[in-house]
Chains A and B, each alone.
Chain A
Protein backbone atom coordinates (compact mmCIF):
# COMPACT_ATOMS: atom_id res chain seq x y z
CA UNK A 1 0.00 0.00 0.00
CA UNK A 2 1.30 3.42 -0.96
CA UNK A 3 1.83 5.54 2.15
CA UNK A 4 0.83 9.15 1.73
CA UNK A 5 3.57 10.59 3.95
CA UNK A 6 4.23 13.82 2.12
CA UNK A 7 0.61 14.95 1.73
CA UNK A 8 0.11 14.27 5.44
CA UNK A 9 3.15 16.31 6.36
CA UNK A 10 1.77 19.16 4.24
CA UNK A 11 -1.55 19.00 6.05
CA UNK A 12 0.22 18.96 9.41
CA UNK A 13 2.41 21.92 8.52
CA UNK A 14 -0.39 24.06 7.12
CA UNK A 15 -2.80 23.22 9.95
CA UNK A 16 -0.16 24.14 12.52
CA UNK A 17 0.50 27.52 10.93
CA UNK A 18 -3.21 28.15 10.53
CA UNK A 19 -3.77 27.19 14.15
CA UNK A 20 -1.06 29.53 15.38
CA UNK A 21 -2.51 32.44 13.37
CA UNK A 22 -6.10 31.85 14.45
CA UNK A 23 -5.28 31.21 18.09
CA UNK A 24 -3.02 34.22 18.41
CA UNK A 25 -6.17 36.25 17.79
CA UNK A 26 -7.96 34.80 20.82
CA UNK A 27 -8.26 37.33 23.61
CA UNK A 28 -6.56 36.53 26.93
CA UNK A 29 -9.95 36.87 28.46
CA UNK A 30 -10.96 33.57 26.86
CA UNK A 31 -7.88 31.43 27.39
CA UNK A 32 -9.63 28.98 29.70
CA UNK A 33 -12.54 28.41 27.29
CA UNK A 34 -9.97 28.19 24.48
CA UNK A 35 -8.25 25.34 26.24
CA UNK A 36 -11.45 23.45 26.92
CA UNK A 37 -12.63 23.98 23.34
CA UNK A 38 -9.39 22.79 21.73
CA UNK A 39 -9.52 19.91 24.15
CA UNK A 40 -12.96 18.94 22.89
CA UNK A 41 -11.77 19.33 19.30
CA UNK A 42 -8.75 17.13 19.85
CA UNK A 43 -11.16 14.46 21.04
CA UNK A 44 -11.42 13.92 17.28
CA UNK A 45 -9.33 10.93 18.32
CA UNK A 46 -12.78 9.35 18.56
CA UNK A 47 -12.63 8.85 14.78
CA UNK A 48 -9.67 6.50 15.07
CA UNK A 49 -11.11 4.88 18.19
CA UNK A 50 -14.44 4.16 16.45
CA UNK A 51 -12.70 2.42 13.57
CA UNK A 52 -10.56 0.26 15.84
CA UNK A 53 -13.52 -0.62 18.07
CA UNK A 54 -15.90 -1.19 15.16
CA UNK A 55 -13.82 -3.26 12.77
CA UNK A 56 -13.52 -5.94 15.49
CA UNK A 57 -10.42 -7.55 14.09
CA UNK A 58 -9.20 -8.98 17.40
CA UNK A 59 -10.48 -9.08 20.95
CA UNK A 60 -7.60 -6.93 22.13
CA UNK A 61 -8.13 -4.21 19.55
CA UNK A 62 -11.89 -4.16 20.11
CA UNK A 63 -11.41 -3.79 23.86
CA UNK A 64 -8.77 -1.07 23.58
CA UNK A 65 -10.80 0.74 20.91
CA UNK A 66 -13.94 0.64 23.05
CA UNK A 67 -12.16 2.19 26.03
CA UNK A 68 -10.69 4.82 23.69
CA UNK A 69 -14.16 5.65 22.35
CA UNK A 70 -15.46 6.11 25.89
CA UNK A 71 -12.50 8.33 26.83
CA UNK A 72 -12.89 10.47 23.71
CA UNK A 73 -16.64 10.74 24.11
CA UNK A 74 -16.13 11.96 27.67
CA UNK A 75 -13.92 14.74 26.36
CA UNK A 76 -16.34 15.67 23.60
CA UNK A 77 -19.37 15.90 25.88
CA UNK A 78 -17.70 17.60 28.83
CA UNK A 79 -15.47 19.80 26.64
CA UNK A 80 -18.20 21.39 24.56
CA UNK A 81 -20.67 21.66 27.44
CA UNK A 82 -18.27 23.33 29.85
CA UNK A 83 -16.94 25.70 27.21
CA UNK A 84 -20.46 26.86 26.48
CA UNK A 85 -21.22 27.13 30.17
CA UNK A 86 -18.19 29.36 30.72
CA UNK A 87 -18.83 31.52 27.68
CA UNK A 88 -22.40 32.20 28.76
CA UNK A 89 -20.93 33.91 31.83
CA UNK A 90 -18.92 36.45 29.89
CA UNK A 91 -21.28 39.34 30.05
CA UNK A 92 -21.31 42.19 27.59
CA UNK A 93 -19.92 45.47 28.91
CA UNK A 94 -22.75 47.16 30.74
CA UNK A 95 -24.02 50.65 30.10
CA UNK A 96 -22.84 53.06 32.79
CA UNK A 97 -25.15 52.73 35.76
CA UNK A 98 -26.18 55.64 37.83
Chain B
Protein backbone atom coordinates (compact mmCIF):
# COMPACT_ATOMS: atom_id res chain seq x y z
CA UNK B 1 0.00 0.00 0.00
CA UNK B 2 2.69 2.48 1.06
CA UNK B 3 4.57 1.61 -2.10
CA UNK B 4 1.58 2.79 -4.15
CA UNK B 5 1.41 6.07 -2.26
CA UNK B 6 5.09 6.65 -2.92
CA UNK B 7 4.79 5.83 -6.61
CA UNK B 8 1.72 8.07 -6.97
CA UNK B 9 3.68 10.92 -5.36
CA UNK B 10 6.55 10.29 -7.80
CA UNK B 11 4.17 10.28 -10.74
CA UNK B 12 2.63 13.58 -9.68
CA UNK B 13 6.11 15.02 -9.13
CA UNK B 14 7.19 14.03 -12.65
CA UNK B 15 4.11 15.72 -14.13
CA UNK B 16 4.74 18.85 -12.07
CA UNK B 17 8.36 19.03 -13.23
CA UNK B 18 7.32 18.92 -16.88
CA UNK B 19 4.63 21.56 -16.29
CA UNK B 20 7.16 23.64 -14.40
CA UNK B 21 9.43 23.83 -17.43
CA UNK B 22 6.52 24.36 -19.76
CA UNK B 23 5.32 27.35 -17.76
CA UNK B 24 8.80 28.80 -17.87
CA UNK B 25 8.43 29.38 -21.61
CA UNK B 26 6.58 32.64 -20.97
CA UNK B 27 7.59 35.33 -18.47
CA UNK B 28 3.91 35.74 -17.57
CA UNK B 29 3.54 32.16 -16.29
CA UNK B 30 7.16 31.56 -15.28
CA UNK B 31 6.68 32.07 -11.56
CA UNK B 32 3.89 29.52 -11.53
CA UNK B 33 6.49 27.17 -12.99
CA UNK B 34 8.72 27.65 -9.95
CA UNK B 35 5.77 26.88 -7.67
CA UNK B 36 4.98 23.72 -9.60
CA UNK B 37 8.58 22.57 -9.46
CA UNK B 38 8.82 23.19 -5.72
CA UNK B 39 5.55 21.37 -5.09
CA UNK B 40 6.80 18.43 -7.16
CA UNK B 41 9.96 18.35 -5.07
CA UNK B 42 8.00 18.38 -1.80
CA UNK B 43 5.85 15.47 -3.04
CA UNK B 44 8.93 13.54 -4.11
CA UNK B 45 10.65 14.03 -0.75
CA UNK B 46 7.49 13.21 1.23
CA UNK B 47 6.87 10.11 -0.87
CA UNK B 48 10.42 8.95 -0.27
CA UNK B 49 10.28 9.49 3.49
CA UNK B 50 7.29 7.12 3.63
CA UNK B 51 9.54 4.39 2.26
CA UNK B 52 9.55 1.45 4.72
CA UNK B 53 13.28 0.93 4.10
CA UNK B 54 14.04 4.21 5.80
CA UNK B 55 14.66 3.29 9.41
CA UNK B 56 16.41 6.34 10.84
CA UNK B 57 15.44 9.96 10.44
CA UNK B 58 18.01 11.67 12.67
CA UNK B 59 20.81 12.05 10.14
CA UNK B 60 18.36 12.96 7.40
CA UNK B 61 16.85 15.72 9.48
CA UNK B 62 20.28 17.11 10.30
CA UNK B 63 21.30 17.04 6.64
CA UNK B 64 18.09 18.79 5.57
CA UNK B 65 18.73 21.54 8.12
CA UNK B 66 22.34 21.96 6.98
CA UNK B 67 21.24 22.05 3.34
CA UNK B 68 18.67 24.73 4.10
CA UNK B 69 21.16 26.79 6.10
CA UNK B 70 23.63 26.74 3.20
CA UNK B 71 20.99 27.10 0.50
CA UNK B 72 19.19 30.19 1.74
CA UNK B 73 22.22 32.51 1.75
CA UNK B 74 23.27 31.09 -1.63
CA UNK B 75 19.98 32.23 -3.08
CA UNK B 76 20.61 35.83 -2.07
CA UNK B 77 23.91 36.37 -3.86
CA UNK B 78 24.09 39.51 -6.02
CA UNK B 79 22.84 38.80 -9.54
CA UNK B 80 26.28 39.45 -10.96
CA UNK B 81 27.40 36.36 -9.00
CA UNK B 82 24.69 34.10 -10.40
CA UNK B 83 27.08 32.31 -12.80
CA UNK B 84 29.35 31.15 -9.98
CA UNK B 85 26.37 30.17 -7.82
CA UNK B 86 25.07 28.10 -10.69
CA UNK B 87 28.43 26.42 -11.18
CA UNK B 88 28.59 25.71 -7.45
CA UNK B 89 25.18 24.07 -7.50
CA UNK B 90 26.22 21.87 -10.43
CA UNK B 91 29.12 20.82 -8.21
CA UNK B 92 26.75 19.90 -5.37
CA UNK B 93 24.54 17.95 -7.79
CA UNK B 94 27.52 16.03 -9.14
CA UNK B 95 28.79 15.37 -5.63
CA UNK B 96 25.44 13.93 -4.49
CA UNK B 97 25.34 11.59 -7.48
CA UNK B 98 28.94 10.49 -6.97
CA UNK B 99 28.45 9.81 -3.25
CA UNK B 100 25.25 7.82 -3.73
CA UNK B 101 26.95 5.75 -6.44
CA UNK B 102 29.90 5.08 -4.15
CA UNK B 103 27.67 4.08 -1.25
CA UNK B 104 25.60 1.80 -3.44
CA UNK B 105 28.66 0.07 -4.90
CA UNK B 106 30.03 -0.89 -1.50
CA UNK B 107 26.61 -1.92 -0.17
CA UNK B 108 26.02 -4.24 -3.09
CA UNK B 109 29.59 -5.49 -2.93
CA UNK B 110 29.01 -6.61 0.67
CA UNK B 111 25.66 -8.15 -0.16
CA UNK B 112 27.02 -9.90 -3.26
CA UNK B 113 24.37 -8.24 -5.43
CA UNK B 114 26.64 -6.51 -7.93
CA UNK B 115 25.67 -7.53 -11.42
CA UNK B 116 27.50 -6.41 -14.53
CA UNK B 117 24.76 -3.97 -15.48
CA UNK B 118 24.45 -2.48 -12.00
CA UNK B 119 28.19 -1.92 -11.94
CA UNK B 120 28.02 -0.31 -15.36
CA UNK B 121 25.32 2.11 -14.19
CA UNK B 122 27.27 2.88 -11.01
CA UNK B 123 30.48 3.52 -12.93
CA UNK B 124 28.64 5.93 -15.24
CA UNK B 125 27.06 7.68 -12.27
CA UNK B 126 30.35 7.98 -10.43
CA UNK B 127 32.37 9.21 -13.42
CA UNK B 128 29.74 11.79 -14.41
CA UNK B 129 29.08 12.83 -10.82
CA UNK B 130 32.65 13.37 -9.69
CA UNK B 131 33.86 15.00 -12.88
CA UNK B 132 30.90 17.38 -12.78
CA UNK B 133 31.74 18.13 -9.16
CA UNK B 134 35.38 19.13 -9.60
CA UNK B 135 34.83 20.61 -13.07
CA UNK B 136 32.10 22.87 -11.72
CA UNK B 137 34.20 23.85 -8.72
CA UNK B 138 36.95 24.92 -11.11
CA UNK B 139 34.42 26.86 -13.19
CA UNK B 140 33.04 28.54 -10.07
CA UNK B 141 36.61 29.40 -9.01
CA UNK B 142 37.34 30.98 -12.37
CA UNK B 143 34.09 32.93 -12.33
CA UNK B 144 34.78 34.16 -8.82
CA UNK B 145 38.33 34.87 -9.99
CA UNK B 146 39.99 32.93 -7.20
CA UNK B 147 41.51 30.88 -10.02
CA UNK B 148 43.01 32.75 -13.02
CA UNK B 149 40.31 33.14 -15.67
CA UNK B 150 42.74 32.88 -18.53
CA UNK B 151 43.21 29.46 -20.11
CA UNK B 152 45.91 27.44 -18.36
CA UNK B 153 47.62 25.24 -20.90
CA UNK B 154 50.71 23.08 -21.20
CA UNK B 155 52.09 20.97 -24.03
CA UNK B 156 50.36 17.64 -24.56
CA UNK B 157 47.40 18.69 -22.46
CA UNK B 158 44.77 16.99 -24.58
CA UNK B 159 46.75 13.77 -24.71
CA UNK B 160 47.07 13.76 -20.92
CA UNK B 161 43.37 14.53 -20.42
CA UNK B 162 42.06 11.98 -22.83
CA UNK B 163 44.57 9.45 -21.54
CA UNK B 164 43.27 9.90 -17.99
CA UNK B 165 39.68 9.58 -19.12
CA UNK B 166 40.64 6.51 -21.11
CA UNK B 167 42.21 4.89 -18.03
CA UNK B 168 39.13 5.72 -15.97
CA UNK B 169 36.84 4.17 -18.57
CA UNK B 170 39.07 1.12 -18.91
CA UNK B 171 39.09 0.65 -15.13
CA UNK B 172 35.31 1.03 -15.22
CA UNK B 173 34.99 -1.67 -17.87
CA UNK B 174 37.23 -4.00 -15.89
CA UNK B 175 34.88 -3.44 -12.95
CA UNK B 176 31.86 -4.33 -15.07
CA UNK B 177 33.50 -7.61 -16.00
CA UNK B 178 34.79 -8.29 -12.48
CA UNK B 179 32.55 -6.31 -10.08
CA UNK B 180 34.43 -7.76 -7.11
CA UNK B 181 37.71 -6.05 -8.04
CA UNK B 182 36.81 -3.32 -5.61
CA UNK B 183 40.33 -1.83 -5.58
CA UNK B 184 39.62 -0.42 -9.05
CA UNK B 185 36.72 1.60 -7.73
CA UNK B 186 38.80 4.26 -5.93
CA UNK B 187 40.90 4.52 -9.10
CA UNK B 188 37.78 5.41 -11.09
CA UNK B 189 36.78 7.97 -8.45
CA UNK B 190 40.21 9.58 -8.31
CA UNK B 191 40.60 9.81 -12.06
CA UNK B 192 37.11 11.28 -12.48
CA UNK B 193 37.85 13.96 -9.90
CA UNK B 194 41.15 14.75 -11.56
CA UNK B 195 39.67 14.75 -15.05
CA UNK B 196 37.03 17.31 -14.01
CA UNK B 197 39.77 19.70 -12.89
CA UNK B 198 41.92 19.20 -15.97
CA UNK B 199 38.94 19.55 -18.29
CA UNK B 200 38.07 23.06 -17.12
CA UNK B 201 41.54 24.49 -16.41
CA UNK B 202 42.35 25.22 -20.08
CA UNK B 203 39.03 26.98 -20.73
CA UNK B 204 38.95 30.76 -20.71
CA UNK B 205 36.38 33.06 -19.16
CA UNK B 206 34.71 33.91 -22.46
CA UNK B 207 33.83 30.25 -23.01
CA UNK B 208 32.17 29.89 -19.61
CA UNK B 209 28.59 30.07 -20.98
CA UNK B 210 29.19 26.88 -22.95
CA UNK B 211 31.05 25.13 -20.15
CA UNK B 212 28.35 25.91 -17.59
CA UNK B 213 25.69 24.61 -19.96
CA UNK B 214 27.66 21.45 -20.58
CA UNK B 215 28.20 20.86 -16.87
CA UNK B 216 24.48 21.42 -16.37
CA UNK B 217 23.86 18.63 -18.82
CA UNK B 218 26.36 16.33 -17.08
CA UNK B 219 24.73 16.97 -13.69
CA UNK B 220 21.42 15.91 -15.21
CA UNK B 221 22.91 12.79 -16.75
CA UNK B 222 24.49 11.88 -13.42
CA UNK B 223 21.00 11.98 -11.89
CA UNK B 224 19.77 9.77 -14.74
CA UNK B 225 22.52 7.26 -14.03
CA UNK B 226 21.50 7.32 -10.36
CA UNK B 227 17.99 6.52 -11.52
CA UNK B 228 19.28 3.45 -13.38
CA UNK B 229 21.22 2.36 -10.32
CA UNK B 230 18.29 2.74 -7.94
CA UNK B 231 15.67 1.71 -10.52
CA UNK B 232 13.80 4.92 -9.96
CA UNK B 233 11.87 6.38 -12.89
CA UNK B 234 11.39 9.78 -11.26
CA UNK B 235 15.15 10.26 -11.07
CA UNK B 236 15.48 9.23 -14.70
CA UNK B 237 12.74 11.64 -15.79
CA UNK B 238 13.94 14.67 -13.84
CA UNK B 239 17.57 13.99 -14.73
CA UNK B 240 16.69 13.69 -18.41
CA UNK B 241 14.85 17.02 -18.30
CA UNK B 242 17.94 18.66 -16.81
CA UNK B 243 20.23 16.86 -19.25
CA UNK B 244 18.26 17.96 -22.29
CA UNK B 245 18.07 21.51 -21.02
CA UNK B 246 21.85 21.66 -20.63
CA UNK B 247 22.28 20.11 -24.04
CA UNK B 248 20.04 22.65 -25.77
CA UNK B 249 21.75 25.56 -24.03
CA UNK B 250 25.19 24.21 -24.97
CA UNK B 251 24.14 23.92 -28.60
CA UNK B 252 22.77 27.46 -28.61
CA UNK B 253 26.00 28.75 -27.06
CA UNK B 254 28.21 26.89 -29.51
CA UNK B 255 26.16 28.13 -32.46
CA UNK B 256 26.37 31.66 -31.17
CA UNK B 257 30.16 31.37 -31.30
CA UNK B 258 30.27 29.29 -34.45
CA UNK B 259 32.35 26.66 -32.69
CA UNK B 260 32.01 22.96 -31.98
CA UNK B 261 31.96 21.28 -28.56
CA UNK B 262 35.36 19.77 -29.24
CA UNK B 263 36.74 23.16 -30.11
CA UNK B 264 35.44 24.72 -26.88
CA UNK B 265 36.65 21.84 -24.71
CA UNK B 266 39.99 21.18 -26.32
CA UNK B 267 40.73 24.36 -28.28
CA UNK B 268 42.17 26.46 -25.43
CA UNK B 269 40.87 29.62 -27.01
CA UNK B 270 42.66 32.88 -26.61
CA UNK B 271 46.13 31.59 -25.92
CA UNK B 272 47.88 31.90 -29.27
CA UNK B 273 46.76 35.31 -30.46
CA UNK B 274 49.38 37.41 -28.74
CA UNK B 275 50.71 38.07 -32.26
CA UNK B 276 50.08 41.44 -33.87
CA UNK B 277 49.14 43.27 -30.71
CA UNK B 278 52.09 45.63 -30.81
CA UNK B 279 52.52 45.60 -34.59
CA UNK B 280 51.25 49.06 -35.38
CA UNK B 281 49.99 52.13 -33.65
CA UNK B 282 46.57 52.78 -35.01
CA UNK B 283 44.55 55.87 -34.47
CA UNK B 284 41.27 56.00 -32.70
CA UNK B 285 39.04 58.81 -31.57
CA UNK B 286 37.75 59.42 -28.11
CA UNK B 287 34.95 61.62 -26.84
CA UNK B 288 33.95 63.26 -23.60
CA UNK B 289 30.66 62.39 -21.91
CA UNK B 290 29.44 65.83 -22.90
CA UNK B 291 30.02 65.23 -26.63
CA UNK B 292 28.41 61.85 -26.34
CA UNK B 293 25.38 63.20 -24.52
CA UNK B 294 24.84 65.81 -27.22
CA UNK B 295 24.91 63.18 -29.93
CA UNK B 296 22.56 60.94 -27.97
CA UNK B 297 20.13 63.79 -27.55
CA UNK B 298 19.91 64.21 -31.32
CA UNK B 299 19.47 60.49 -31.96
CA UNK B 300 16.13 58.91 -32.64
CA UNK B 301 17.18 55.28 -32.37
CA UNK B 302 19.78 53.98 -29.92
CA UNK B 303 20.90 50.39 -29.34
CA UNK B 304 22.79 49.39 -26.21
CA UNK B 305 25.04 46.32 -26.46
CA UNK B 306 25.87 45.05 -22.98
CA UNK B 307 28.65 42.57 -22.21
CA UNK B 308 30.48 41.04 -19.29
CA UNK B 309 32.05 44.43 -18.51
CA UNK B 310 28.62 45.74 -17.56
CA UNK B 311 28.31 42.94 -15.02
CA UNK B 312 31.80 43.49 -13.62
CA UNK B 313 31.21 47.21 -13.20
CA UNK B 314 27.67 46.62 -11.83
CA UNK B 315 26.60 49.26 -14.32
CA UNK B 316 23.10 47.96 -15.03
CA UNK B 317 21.35 50.51 -12.79
CA UNK B 318 23.19 53.42 -14.41
CA UNK B 319 22.20 51.98 -17.78
CA UNK B 320 18.61 52.10 -16.63
CA UNK B 321 18.96 55.77 -15.66
CA UNK B 322 20.36 56.56 -19.08
CA UNK B 323 17.49 54.65 -20.65
CA UNK B 324 15.03 56.72 -18.63
CA UNK B 325 16.61 60.00 -19.68
CA UNK B 326 16.64 59.04 -23.34
CA UNK B 327 13.13 57.57 -23.32
CA UNK B 328 11.88 60.77 -21.72
CA UNK B 329 13.25 62.66 -24.71
CA UNK B 330 11.49 60.40 -27.17
CA UNK B 331 14.56 58.37 -28.16
CA UNK B 332 13.83 54.76 -29.04
CA UNK B 333 16.25 52.68 -26.94
CA UNK B 334 16.73 48.93 -27.47
CA UNK B 335 19.10 46.47 -25.87
CA UNK B 336 20.75 43.99 -28.22
CA UNK B 337 21.59 40.79 -26.36
CA UNK B 338 24.11 38.38 -27.81
CA UNK B 339 23.61 34.80 -26.57
CA UNK B 340 27.17 34.54 -25.24
CA UNK B 341 27.34 38.01 -23.71
CA UNK B 342 28.29 37.57 -20.05
CA UNK B 343 29.32 34.42 -18.30
CA UNK B 344 26.22 32.22 -18.60
CA UNK B 345 23.21 31.90 -20.89
CA UNK B 346 20.77 34.73 -20.30
CA UNK B 347 23.15 36.57 -17.94
CA UNK B 348 22.54 40.03 -19.47
CA UNK B 349 18.77 39.57 -19.52
CA UNK B 350 18.70 38.95 -15.79
CA UNK B 351 20.90 41.94 -15.00
CA UNK B 352 18.78 44.26 -17.13
CA UNK B 353 15.63 42.84 -15.58
CA UNK B 354 17.14 43.57 -12.17
CA UNK B 355 17.57 47.18 -13.30
CA UNK B 356 13.87 47.16 -14.16
CA UNK B 357 14.21 47.52 -17.91
CA UNK B 358 11.06 46.19 -19.61
CA UNK B 359 11.87 42.93 -21.33
CA UNK B 360 10.17 43.84 -24.59
CA UNK B 361 13.01 46.31 -25.13
CA UNK B 362 15.55 43.47 -25.26
CA UNK B 363 16.16 42.27 -28.80
CA UNK B 364 18.14 39.42 -30.32
CA UNK B 365 21.09 39.65 -32.69
CA UNK B 366 19.16 39.22 -35.95
CA UNK B 367 16.59 41.88 -35.10
CA UNK B 368 19.28 44.31 -34.01
CA UNK B 369 21.22 43.79 -37.23
CA UNK B 370 18.17 44.13 -39.45
CA UNK B 371 17.70 47.72 -38.29
CA UNK B 372 21.35 48.60 -37.79
CA UNK B 373 21.58 50.93 -40.81
CA UNK B 374 18.78 53.04 -39.32
CA UNK B 375 20.38 53.10 -35.89
CA UNK B 376 21.88 56.44 -34.94
CA UNK B 377 23.99 55.39 -31.98
CA UNK B 378 25.15 52.04 -30.65
CA UNK B 379 26.51 52.11 -27.10
CA UNK B 380 28.81 49.18 -26.39
CA UNK B 381 28.95 48.65 -22.62
CA UNK B 382 31.73 46.27 -21.66
CA UNK B 383 31.30 43.98 -24.67
CA UNK B 384 34.13 43.13 -27.02
CA UNK B 385 34.23 40.01 -29.18
CA UNK B 386 30.51 40.07 -29.91
CA UNK B 387 30.87 43.38 -31.79
CA UNK B 388 34.20 42.64 -33.48
CA UNK B 389 33.81 43.04 -37.25
CA UNK B 390 36.78 40.68 -37.75
CA UNK B 391 34.28 37.87 -37.19
CA UNK B 392 32.74 38.80 -40.54
CA UNK B 393 35.76 39.72 -42.57
CA UNK B 394 39.03 38.31 -41.23
CA UNK B 395 39.34 34.60 -41.94
CA UNK B 396 42.51 34.47 -39.82
CA UNK B 397 40.76 35.72 -36.70
CA UNK B 398 40.02 33.13 -34.02
CA UNK B 399 36.45 34.38 -33.87
CA UNK B 400 35.91 34.29 -37.64
CA UNK B 401 32.40 33.11 -38.50
CA UNK B 402 30.89 33.95 -35.13
CA UNK B 403 27.56 35.76 -35.53
CA UNK B 404 28.07 39.26 -34.18
CA UNK B 405 26.07 42.39 -33.57
CA UNK B 406 27.00 44.66 -36.49
CA UNK B 407 27.64 47.72 -34.36
CA UNK B 408 30.06 49.07 -36.96
CA UNK B 409 27.17 49.51 -39.40
CA UNK B 410 25.39 52.03 -37.19
CA UNK B 411 25.92 55.71 -37.85
CA UNK B 412 27.91 56.21 -34.65
CA UNK B 413 29.32 53.81 -32.09
CA UNK B 414 30.26 54.67 -28.51
CA UNK B 415 32.54 52.05 -27.03
CA UNK B 416 32.87 52.27 -23.26
CA UNK B 417 36.13 50.67 -22.23
CA UNK B 418 38.77 51.07 -19.57
CA UNK B 419 41.64 51.41 -22.05
CA UNK B 420 42.69 50.35 -25.53
CA UNK B 421 44.21 47.23 -24.00
CA UNK B 422 42.65 44.16 -25.64
CA UNK B 423 40.96 41.80 -23.16
CA UNK B 424 42.68 38.67 -21.89
CA UNK B 425 41.67 36.87 -25.06
CA UNK B 426 44.05 39.30 -26.73
CA UNK B 427 41.97 39.68 -29.87
CA UNK B 428 42.38 43.10 -31.43
CA UNK B 429 39.01 44.71 -32.12
CA UNK B 430 38.89 46.57 -35.39
CA UNK B 431 35.67 48.32 -34.41
CA UNK B 432 37.53 50.76 -32.15
CA UNK B 433 39.55 52.12 -35.06
CA UNK B 434 36.63 52.73 -37.36
CA UNK B 435 35.78 56.27 -38.38
CA UNK B 436 32.34 56.12 -36.82
CA UNK B 437 33.58 54.84 -33.47
CA UNK B 438 34.19 57.05 -30.47
CA UNK B 439 35.88 55.68 -27.36
CA UNK B 440 34.55 56.64 -23.95
CA UNK B 441 37.32 55.66 -21.55
CA UNK B 442 36.65 54.67 -17.97
CA UNK B 443 34.72 52.32 -15.74
CA UNK B 444 31.35 51.55 -17.35
CA UNK B 445 29.42 52.59 -14.27
CA UNK B 446 31.25 55.90 -13.97
CA UNK B 447 31.05 56.74 -17.68
CA UNK B 448 27.32 56.08 -17.93
CA UNK B 449 26.82 57.94 -14.67
CA UNK B 450 28.56 60.95 -16.27
CA UNK B 451 26.34 60.67 -19.32
CA UNK B 452 23.27 60.66 -17.13
CA UNK B 453 24.53 63.75 -15.30
CA UNK B 454 24.81 65.58 -18.60
CA UNK B 455 21.11 64.98 -19.08
CA UNK B 456 19.97 65.71 -15.57
CA UNK B 457 22.01 68.90 -15.49
CA UNK B 458 24.13 67.95 -12.48
CA UNK B 459 27.36 67.85 -14.45
CA UNK B 460 27.39 70.13 -17.43
CA UNK B 461 24.07 71.21 -18.77
CA UNK B 462 22.18 70.38 -21.85
CA UNK B 463 18.97 72.26 -21.33
Report which A residues bind B (CB closer than 8 A): 1, 3-5, 7-8, 11-12, 15-20, 22-58, 60-62, 64-94, 97
Contact = CB atoms under 8 A, between A and B. Distances in A.
B285 to A, nearest CB: 34
A48 B230 contact: yes
B71 A42 contact: no
A90 B68 contact: no
B216 A38 contact: yes
A78 B237 CA distance: 21
Interface string B74-118: 111101001001100110110111011011101100100101011
B156 interface: no
B381 interface: no
Given A41-B20, A86-B82, A92-B358, 11 more contacts: A11-B237, A12-B240, A27-B25, A30-B346, A35-B213, A35-B216, A46-B96, A47-B45, A52-B107, A54-B49, A74-B71
Interface stretch (B199-207, B221-229, B387-395): B221-229
Contacts of B27: 27, 29-30, 87, 90, 92
Contacts of B74: 74, 77-78, 82
A58 B110 contact: yes
Given A5-B117, A69-B63, A60 B359 contact: no
A28 B239 contact: no
B216 A50 contact: no
A89 B110 contact: no
Interface of B: 10, 13, 17-18, 20-22, 24-28, 30-31, 33-34, 37-38, 40-41, 44-45, 48-49, 51, 53-57, 59-60, 62-64, 66-68, 70-72, 74-77, 79, 82, 85-86, 89-90, 92-93, 95-97, 99-100, 102-104, 106-107, 110, 113, 115, 117-118, 212-213, 216, 219-220, 222-224, 226-249, 252, 327-328, 337, 339, 344-347, 349-350, 353-354, 356-362, 364
A54 B67 CA distance: 16
A3 B231 contact: yes
B345 A31 contact: yes
11 contacts: A30-B24, A32-B344, A45-B97, A45-B226, A65-B100, A71-B67, A72-B92, A73-B68, A76-B71, A77-B72, A87-B31
A33 B24 contact: yes
A39 B226 CA distance: 16
A82 B233 CA distance: 27
Contacts of B220: 38, 42
Contacts of A93: 358-361
A91 B358 contact: yes
Contacts of A23: 21, 241, 244-245, 248
B86 A39 contact: yes
Given A49-B100, A85-B75, A42 B239 contact: yes
A66 B58 CA distance: 10
Given A90-B27, A91-B356, A73 B86 contact: no
